[in-house]
Amino acid sequence: MDRRHFIMSSAALAAGAVTKGIASPNDTLRVAVIGLGGRGPTAMGRGKDHIQTWAKIPNTEMVAICDIDDAQIAKGLKLFETLNLKKPEVYKDVRKLVANKDIDVISIASPNHWHTLMAIWGMQNGKDVYVEKPCAHDMFEAKQIVAAARKYNRIVQQGSQIRSSDAVREGIQKMHDGMIGDVYLARGLCYKWRDTIGRAPEEPVPAGVDYDLWTGPSPMHHFTRNRFHYNWHWFWDTGNGDLGNQGIHQVDIARWGLGVRYPVKVSAIGGHFMFDDDQETPNTLNVAYEFNENGKRKMMEFEVRHWMSNGEATVGPQPHKTGGATMADSGAPLAGGSTRRGPNSDSIGNLFYGRNGYMVVDSYHSYKTWMGREQEPGPSNADRDEMTKHVQNFVDAVRSRNRENLHAEIEEGAASTILVHLANISYRIGRTLHFDSEKFEVVGDSEANAMFTRNYRKPFVVPHNV
């Protein structure tokens, strides 16, 4: 892949050629939501979030939904009915959906291993794309999704919705303007109380599930409940662990706040502690990144914890109504392996350290600062409903054809996704990576570079020439 296709040029930004444009702000955007699966027996996960969010966006209409599971499709149709929305067309095969010329936008909430291929197929068929994080399952795909956006001149936004929080945007801008002085260190925290997923036996594919389509680009495995809804996050063939699940939000904020792009050095250690179950990815991880841009060194630290935990500064356990399944008295695993038991001990957010103070961005998408040697409280602000703002930001860019206005344009999304993959590769091979972003390779490490991509299961192949 030629680097000129990967880096966003001002000429490409200005071109704004439209193969299939929206004539005016009053024209209705026709949207398809892809992926309706959820965390438990009654939830629909990100697909539900997408449907509920798009229902709030003026001058848009959800005309289609797509899922490989009839049970999830039924839940999606029920949600349309509850929201008093017109019944959409229903697809199980995403290839048929993207071929529909009456669809303008695809909104992708599928498992990670499908994100890039669905996005590229959509762009090749003239669609603009809203794609959930991480936009790519590996390093190669992170390059290809950007290359496709440039080649087909599509508007593509990663679902890093915190970037559309007015409060967080204000805090990051003030920090860039020098509010806490030169910022030398950022920390990202992903402490989520996740219970064991247990061990799930092989079983027949459930009725109504097209498991071949669900597997798509990844190797085929015998069906188990642990490799299916939600728990696919914890297997390397389909997910990226909690660093690429919840953690990528905080990786993205940390990188944005530091004002950096690619690290020169990445080192990760960790493991899968406490539980003897099917999970492959680590549930505890410590990552250190070193950046050196324009002669200035900066550091970024990231930590994943999987169980009860304290917080840091005001990033800490917050009281709220506990939802979802809980560990049964018998010791049976949680449904989805992802919900809490007892008070919420999740601590999710970012900390930034500068010469004159420090700033915290917490899970409620607020920021707070403490200034000087006395650590006096400084500027602060709070905000909510950032997903609706994020989708609206995407829609505004679709109408204007100006991708510079996107808050998480796909090249920004891919850059943060690359940090996730470099950390996971470092963890998996057990050593520090020295990354050359110009050559897009780990220096002198053929084993690490071999993990930049995967063997695709035909015909579900992310193309080298998009």
Cα(158)–Cα(420) distance, integer angstroms: 14
Tell which residue, 85, 82, 43, 84, has the closest CA to residue 63: 85
Cα(406)–Cα(398) distance, integer angstroms: 9
Structure token pair of residue 314 = 């005001």
Peptide linkage before 134 cis (omega within 30 of 0): yes
> Which residues in the chain land under pLDDT 50?
1-19, 23, 39-42, 320-342
Give the CA angle between residues 402, 406, 411 to the nearest 5°.
100
Q: Is 458 exposed, middle or buried (0-12, 13-18, 19+ CB in 10 A)?
A: exposed
pLDDT digits (tens, 9 = 90+) for 298-355: 999 999 999 988 888 888 875 544 443 333 333 333 334 444 444 567 899 999 999 9
Q: Give the CATH number of domain 3-163+388-409.
A: 3.40.50.720
Cα(326)–Cα(329) distance, integer angstroms: 9
pLDDT digits (tens, 9 = 90+) for 11-35: 333 333 344 555 456 689 999 999 9
Q: 3.30.360.10, 1.10.10.10, 3.40.50.1100, 3.40.50.2000: which CATH number matches 166-384?
A: 3.30.360.10
pLDDT digits (tens, 9 = 90+) for 148-194: 999 999 999 999 999 999 999 999 999 999 999 999 999 999 999 99
The pLDDT score that the predictor gives to residue 343 is 53
Kindly report the pTM of this predicted structure.
Answer: 0.90
Cα(261)–Cα(158) distance, integer angstroms: 16
Cα(185)–Cα(110) distance, integer angstroms: 34
The pLDDT score that the predictor gives to residue 103 is 98
Report the mean per-residue pLDDT for the chain: 89
Residue ranges covered by each domain of the chain: 3-163+388-409, 166-384
